[in-house]
Amino acid sequence: MRTTYREAARAALREALRTDPRVFLMGEDVGRYGGAYAVSRGLLEEFGPDRVRDTPLSESAFVGAGIGAALGGMRPIVEVMTVNFSLLALDQIVNNAATLRHMSGGQLGVPLVIRMATGAGRQLAAQHSHSLECWYAHVPGIRVVAPATLEDARGMLPTALRSPDPVVIFEHASLYPVEGDLADGAGAVDLERAVVRRPGRDLTLITYGGSLGKALAAAETLAREGVEAEVVDLRVLRPLDLPAIVGSVQRTHRAIIVDEGWRTGGLAGEISACITERAFYELDAPVERVCTAEVPIPYAKQLEDAALPQVDTIVAACRAIMGRP
C-alpha cells in the first residue's frame, strides 16, 4: 500500500482509539485543527471531543494530566507540538513520569505515551527546530524511541501503548510527507532493537530518525567508490541496543555516528563512549561524529543547511576514516 509517514502515524492512532476504550489523545490543536502536522486530522470527527481533546497552551498541565490519567487507569497519548515546547513540561516528565514507579517502590506505574515532533530542515529557526532527544534519553525511567520508517511510524505506537511505563516518541517533522510502501497488515513492532538498514563491511554509520535517509544516501554514494557502509538505525534511543551497535563495529571496525543533535554532551558522544568501552580492540580507526553545528538553528536556508548533517558531510567523514582523499 502506497502511503505516507503522516498517514501511517494516523493509522496507528486510529487503531489505538478503536481498539482500546482507555486510549485518548490530547494536546494543542489535535482536534478541530487536525494536529499541527495534520497527523490527527479526522480523528475528532470519528471519536468525538472526549477522546480527542484540544488542550489550552499549558504543556505542564496537560502532560501532567496525562500522567495523572495514566495513574488513574487510562492509556493517554499526549501530543506536544514540538520538542522545543516540551521543555515547558520537562518538570512533569522528568520529575514525575520517570520517577513514580521507582520512588513508590513499584506501587505506581505511568503507562503514558508522549509524541512530539523534532528536528530541523524547514526554516523554522531556533525555537522550533531543535533535536533534544538526548535530554530525554538521559533520564532513567522512560523509554525513548525515534521511528524513522513508515513501518515504525505505524508500529511503534501500539507497542508503546502496551508498555506499563512511559514512552516518548520522537517524530522528525521532515518525515511526515515521506511516501513509501507499507504492508497491508503492518502492525506493532518491537521497541527494543536497533536494525541494520543496509549491510556493509567497511564502516558502520549509526543514526536514527530524520538522519537515516541521509545516511542511506551517503552509503549509496560510497558504494560507487567501492566503500561498503553498514547503516544502523538505532530506533530506540533509551535504552540503547548496545549489542547491535557493538556487533556492527565488530564486523566493520570503523564507526561514524550521524546525529542531528548537537555534538557536546549528546547521544553521539554517548554511543562513541559505549563503542570505546565495549569494542576498543575492534577499532581500526577513531570513532567519528557528524552532528549539528554548535549554534541555534538559523532561519536562512543556506545557514540552516550548513548547520545540519548532510549527505556530503557524511560522505566526507567516511572517506576520511577510510584514509581516502
Partner 1 sequence: MTSGIIPAASPPGLEREHGTALLRMMLLIRRFEEKAAELYGAGKIRGFLHLYIGEEAVATGVMQALTPDDNIVATYREHGHALARGVPAGPIMAEMFGRVNGCSRGRGGSMHLFDVSRRFFGGFAIVGGGLPIAVGLALADRMLGRAAITACFFGDGAVAEGAFHESLNLAALWRLPVLFLCENNLYAMGTALARHQAETDIAAKGAAYGVPSSAVDGMDVLAVEAAARTAADAVRREGRPHLLELRTYRFRAHSMYDPDLYRTRDEIETWKRRDPILLLQARMAEPGMLGREQLAALEREVEREVADAVTFADAGQLEPVSELLTHLHAAAAP
Partner 2 sequence: MTERRLEEFRMPSLGADMAAGRLVQWLKAPGDRLARGDVVAEVDTDKGVIAVEVFTEGVLAKILVEPDEKVPVGTPLALIERGEGAPAEPVVPPPPAGAPAVRERVRVSPLARRLAAELGVDLATVPGTGPGGAITREDVEAAARARPARPAPTEPAEERHARMRQAIAAAMARSKREIPHYYLSTRIDLGRAMEWLAGRNRDRPPAERLLAGALQLKAVALALREFPDLNAWWVDGRAVAQPGIHPGVAVSLRGGGLVVPAVHDADRLGLDALMRAMHDLVARARAGALRSSELSDGTITVTSLGERGVDAVFGIIYPPQVAIVGFGRVVERPAVVDGAVVARPVVTATLSGDHRASDGHRGGLFLARVEQLLQEPERL
Task: Please give the positions annotated as active site.
Answer: 59, 128
Contact map string, positions 22 to 61, toward partner 2, x by CB under 8 A: ----------------------------------------
Closest distance between partner 1 and the C-beta of residue 27, in Å?
13
Q: Which is nearer to partner 1, 63 or 205 (CB)?
A: 63
Query: In Å, how far are 212, 217, 284 from 280, measured between CA atoms?
Result: 25, 28, 9
Question: Whole-angstrom Cα distance, residue 62 to residue 130?
Answer: 22
Q: Which is nearer to partner 1, 29 or 282 (CB)?
A: 29
Among partner 2, partner 1, none, what does residue 24 contact (CB within 5–8 Å per kind)?
A: partner 1
Q: Which of 286, 135, 288, 143 is nearest to 207 (CA)?
A: 288
By CB under 8 A, is residue 107 in contact with partner 1? yes
Q: How many residues bind partner 1 (CB under 8 A)?
A: 43
**Given candidates 18, 45, 104, 273, which one binds partner 1 under the rule CB under 8 A?**
104
DSSP notation for 92-137? IIIIIITTHHHHTTTS-----EEEEEE---SS-GGGS----HHHHH
Query: In Å, how far are 30, 82, 223, 296 from 42, measured between CA atoms?
Result: 10, 21, 43, 35
Question: Whole-angstrom Cα distance, residue 119 to residue 140?
Answer: 23
Contact map string, positions 146 to 185, toward partner 1, x by CB under 8 A: -----------------xxx--------------------
By CB under 8 A, is residue 228 in contact with partner 2? no
Among partner 1, partner 2, none, what does residue 185 contact (CB within 5–8 Å per kind)?
A: none
Question: Whole-angstrom Cα distance, residue 122 to residue 119?
Answer: 9
Within a 10 A sphere around the Cβ of 281, how many other Cβ atoms?
7
Residue 241 grid cell? 541496543
Contact map string, positions 252 to 291, toward partner 1, x by CB under 8 A: ----------------------------------------
Contact map string, positions 251 to 290, toward partner 2, x by CB under 8 A: --x-----------------------xxxxxxxxx-----
Q: 170-209 burial by CB neighbour count: b if 16+ within 10 A, else e? A: bbbbbbbebeeebeeebebbebeebbebbebebbbbbbbb
Query: In Å, how far are 62, 66, 168, 188 from 70, measured between CA atoms?
Result: 12, 6, 14, 21
Q: Which of 305, 323, 321 is nearest to 122 (CA)?
A: 305
Among partner 2, partner 1, none, what does residue 138 contact (CB within 5–8 Å per kind)?
A: none
Question: Whole-angstrom Cα distance, residue 144 to residue 3?
Answer: 25
By CB under 8 A, is residue 73 in contact with partner 1? yes
Range 15-44, binding partner 1 (CB under 8 A): 22, 24
DSSP state of 74: -
By CB under 8 A, is residue 241 in contact with partner 2? no
DSSP state of 14: H
By CB under 8 A, is residue 62 in contact with partner 1? yes
By CB under 8 A, is residue 309 in contact with partner 1? no
- Per CB under 8 A, residues contacting partner 2 are 243, 246-247, 250, 253, 277-285, 320-323
- Per CB under 8 A, residues contacting partner 1 are 22, 24, 50, 53, 55-56, 58, 60-74, 76, 91-92, 95-96, 100-109, 140-141, 143, 163-165
